[in-house]
Structure 1
Amino acid sequence: MKHTPSPRSRRIAPVVAVTAAAALTLAGCSSDSGGKKAEEAADNVSAGKADTPRMTIAMVTHAPSGDTFWDIIRKGAQAAAAKDNVKLIYSNDESAGGQANLIQNAIDQKVDGIAVTLAKPDALKDAIAKAHKAGIPVVGFNSGMDQWKDQGLLEFFGQDESVAGEAFGEKLNETGAKNAICVVQVQGHVGLEARCAGVKKTFKGKVENLYVNGNDMPATKSTITAKLKQDSSIDQVVTLGAPFALTAVESVSDASSKAKVSTFDLNKDLVSAIKDGDIEFAVDQQPYLQGYLAVDSLWLYKNNGNYVGGGEAPVFTGPAFVDKSNVDTVAEFAAKGTR
């Protein structure tokens, strides 16, 4: 009988493959006795930087302005670009229509590859199809875990938001929470909706979605505060981004609520809040790694014909929980802007 791996084993396999490949690369480069063999193995890399022909990669995201999460993604992408002799063209537009236009701009510039987020995948179908027609390879990252293969993308790097949400709900059960609100900052964003749906699936208590305008933080704060004042039984605020978690802490104080705050995503300010006890825990999806792998994968494809994950399975960068038990370890890297 044919053995079918469990969903968990399927999720882990691509990550293991990447880790093993990285270990082999490090072993080859650090060997004292490798000599010319190490040089040959490195092939197109010299002194830690590729000497392959200059290529241009466009990274197109749905990032809103002012969200530090996207600064970390961009930092990872820039690091890979510097290593791979890549000219990186980064652009972002929170609206799906604007993002589609940016993809078209990249096509018009005849870039060598496109890395894109699929927060609202249906609105990007036509633009991505045009990239395929133009012979431009496209990879996905961060958003669109369930849609990347349907749209013909080569690879995907990110977090399964449904799985992350389910793990989050289980964590809430451990903390003893009973009544939670899940604060959604962008309506129609498939990844954010999947997170809250995942929480609802495993959390034994009550969960209600609370929609806010993520582009207006004072309004977001007021909406959360009003909800907490309206329902004093709410004992948990779940946010879907670090800046919103920090704002929720202020809302809890303003509402004189006893609710605790936990969140998806991380930044250095949130790490400090976990240390101080203002935030219970965070789920880290490693945005630096997403940006880095998205760019590096396109270089590997163009120069070596490589597919990370074999073109069939996504490469998972999360979820990983950060709480008081391990926050000191993460803090060092958060200060550097890589976590």
Structure 2
Amino acid sequence: MMVVGCGMDRSSRIAEDRPLRLAFITCAVDAKFFEPVKKGMRDASEMMGVQADFLGTEGVDIPVQVEMVRQAARDGYDGIALNIIDPEAFDDVVQEAIDRGVPVVGFNVDDHASPNARLCSVNQRLYEAGRTLASTLLPEIPEEAHVLMTMHDEGVSALEDRLRGLQDVLRAKGVRWTVIVTGNDSAKGAERIAEALRQHGDVRFVLGTGQSDTEAAGLALEKHLPGRGYWSAGFDLSDTTLRLVKAGVIRCTVDQQPYIQGFYPVVQLALYCRYQIQPSDIDAGAAIIDRDNVDAVIRLTQEGYR
């Protein structure tokens, strides 16, 4: 039995006994954040009977990531899941892949600011997630407070969108902010945050936008300012972040459910390639994790699902 190949204009057909080959292409490929994404990808690949490879750059390097998309299409991958960390840089290469009959879906970060031929995306609604976190914290932040805001990298639209969401809500109370870039090493980031807090003596709250800087903020407060009325909050899950949530150092963190960001793109690409079932956008959510529910989430992270 033969099944239809991926592209609508693709004349080739894919034999049922030849597994589909899918490529996930991301930045910071070895970052701990992507472990649940990889598990979701592997679980869905087994369920759907496909082969999926998790590829990417070691750090944020957009030109190299763009070229990896181009190379994956040349290498005969049947579908691509792409972490679209820049709203414009991937537009042309995604169109090139589509024109070659290779469908592209987004995962983790979508392109929402410019035309893009990708078929759909599975990701958190990032600006809205920033607003969700700020709205949760708003009653605890005084009028006209000075807040430290952190990003672990520059030039990542996901972090910029969350930051903008935070700021748009906090602006209503006249909150001021100082923004710093911490880097992806949470231990080094903790020292940068501690130094920033020393420079800005009126700051008592640190709000992160990503995994490593959220973890870094908690480590900075735990090491340098314990029991002095400081707290932080931010995004994503790690063992350290969850430990600090349980300890009350990090007030809360927002989970974007990375497992489904690996799982659903495999299902979508497989169904599209085999049966031309059109993929659709999926919101990965913005669940607040605090001391009330952290124990259950810790168990699920140990199992690789959160």
What TM-score do you get using the length of structure 2 for normalisation?
0.86
Report 1:240-319 matches (<5 A): 240-256=209-225, 258-309=229-280, 314-319=281-286
Q: Deviations for 1:105-130, whole angstroms, at most 9, x for unmatched residues?
A: 20111111000011113222222121
Counterparts of 1:238 and 1:258, CA distance in 2: 15
- What is the CA distance between 1:102 and its match in structure 2? 1.0
Aligned partner letter, 1:243 = S
Which of 143, 157, 175 is the aligned partner of 2:109? 143
The change in CA–CA distance for 1:202 and 1:248 in structure 2 (over 3 A counts) is same
Q: Deviations for 1:74-127, whole angstroms, at most 9, x for unmatched residues?
A: 111111111111111211112101101111120111111000011113222222
Counterparts of 2:122 and 2:163, CA distance in 1: 21
The change in CA–CA distance for 1:198 and 1:305 in structure 2 (over 3 A counts) is same
Which of 287, 296, 299 is the aligned partner of 1:320? 287
The change in CA–CA distance for 1:82 and 1:207 in structure 2 (over 3 A counts) is farther
Which of 118, 122, 125 is the aligned partner of 1:153? 118
What CA RMSD, in Å, does the superposition of the two structures yield over aligned residues? 2.0
Counterparts of 1:68 and 1:218, CA distance in 2: 14
Secondary structure, aligned partner of 1:121: coil
Secondary structure, aligned partner of 2:119: coil
Counterparts of 1:192 and 1:102, CA distance in 2: 23
Q: Which residue of structure 1 lines up, in the alignment, with residue 157 of structure 2? A: 190
Aligned partner letter, 2:131 = E
Counterparts of 2:301 and 2:184, CA distance in 1: 24
- What is the CA distance between 1:255 and its match in structure 2? 4.4
Question: Size of the alignment, in residue pairs?
Answer: 283
Q: Is the 8 A contact 2:233 2:250 kept in 1?
A: yes
- What is the CA distance between 1:208 and its match in structure 2? 2.3
Counterparts of 2:108 and 2:155, CA distance in 1: 16
Q: Which residue of structure 2 lines up, in the alignment, with residue 124 of structure 1? A: 90
Q: Is the 8 A contact 1:228 1:255 kept in 2?
A: no
Aligned partner letter, 2:229 = K
Q: Deviations for 1:241-274, whole angstroms, at most 9, x for unmatched residues?
A: 3332232123224543632111111133322221
Counterparts of 1:111 and 1:53, CA distance in 2: 12
The change in CA–CA distance for 1:320 and 1:299 in structure 2 (over 3 A counts) is same
- What is the CA distance between 1:216 and its match in structure 2? 4.5
Counterparts of 1:166 and 1:280, CA distance in 2: 16
Q: Which residue of structure 2 lines up, in the alignment, with residue 98 of structure 1? A: 64
Q: Please say if 1:210 is aligned against 2:144.
A: no
For structure 2, list consecutive stretches of 5 or more residues without a partner in the other structure: 1-15
Q: Deviations for 1:188-240, whole angstroms, at most 9, x for unmatched residues?
A: 21110110110011122524252325244454223211110111221211112
Identity value in percent: 26
Aligned partner letter, 1:91 = L
Q: Is the 8 A contact 1:226 1:255 kept in 2?
A: no
Q: Is the 8 A contact 1:196 1:209 kept in 2?
A: no
Aligned partner letter, 1:249 = G
Aligned partner letter, 1:84 = M
Q: Which residue of structure 2 lines up, in the alignment, with residue 110 of structure 1? A: 76
- What is the CA distance between 1:303 and its match in structure 2? 1.9
Q: Which has the higher helix share?
A: 1
Which of 56, 62, 74 is the aligned partner of 2:27? 62
Aligned partner letter, 1:321 = I
Secondary structure, aligned partner of 1:281: strand
Q: Is the 8 A contact 2:88 2:111 kept in 1?
A: no
- What is the CA distance between 1:71 and its match in structure 2? 1.4
Task: Choose 95-104 or 246-255, whichever is displaced more.
Answer: 246-255
What TM-score do you get using the length of structure 1 for normalisation?
0.78
Secondary structure, aligned partner of 2:250: coil
- What is the CA distance between 1:53 and its match in structure 2? 4.4
